[in-house]
Amino acid sequence: MSEYREIITKSVVAKGRKFTQSHHTIHPPHRPTSILGCWIINHKYEAKKVGKKVEVHGSFDVNVWYSHHDNTKTSVVIENVTYRDTIKLKYRDSDYYDDNEIIARVLQQPNCLEASISDCGSKVIVQVEREIVVECVGETKMCVIFHRDGMEEDWDHDIDDDEIDEIKTDFLGFEDSKRH
């Protein structure tokens, strides 16, 4: 006779995702003439649950290569940028316990979309995009069937030697080689 058991296990009980575009003002030491390139490196982040949301605190370095002094010299300015993203959670499981374990993954590393000289001409405006997904892991219940005496059905389908001898092998039009 089968019975049901409830098993408590860890599972993803909620998820959230956020795509962000932001603008950052970089202050180079020289008045830029033109932008030659912009890279974003050293992305670091951590996530923690706050109520029914997850806050992701992070930072990255913006590297702007630019020309100055009427395109006669070049320099690279590096500026560290910090951010805080608040990500709403969508709960899949309403019957969970202790969902404070957070897994955060970056789907799109911070990436420079555009770098341009500001209207005043002394700063660089950098447009950045990034995307992060978070998952909350919590304890939840699963209901499974438990068979106290093993399987309810007989799964013994062994074929004995007498049954093998009774198998007709000439159904393809060939004679059995053992008979000749």
Q: What is the pLDDT of residue 141?
A: 82
DSSP codes, 34-93: EEEEEEEEEEEEEEEEETTEEEEEEEEEEEEEEEETTTTEEEEEEEEEEEEEEEE-EES-
Q: What is the DSSP letter of 29?
A: S
- The more confidently predicted of residues 156 and 54 is 54
User: Is the pLDDT confidence value at 143 over 80?
Assistant: yes
- Answer whether 135's CB lies under 8 Å from 102's CB: yes
If you search the block for the tokens 């706050």, which residue do you land on? Answer: 50
Q: What is the DSSP letter of 178?
A: T
Beta-carbon contacts of residue 65 (< 8 Å; ≥ 6 apart): 35, 36, 37, 38, 74, 75, 76
The region of weakest confidence among 20-29, 108-117, 171-180 is: 171-180
- Rounded Cα distance, 115 and 176, in Å: 82
Closest by Cα among 25, 29, 54, 9 to 127: 25
Residue type, 90: K
Q: What is the pLDDT of residues 46-78, one digit of tens each?
A: 999 998 899 999 999 999 999 999 999 999 999
The predicted model scores a pTM of: 0.72
Q: What is the pLDDT of residues 31-47, one digit of tens each?
A: 999 999 999 999 999 99
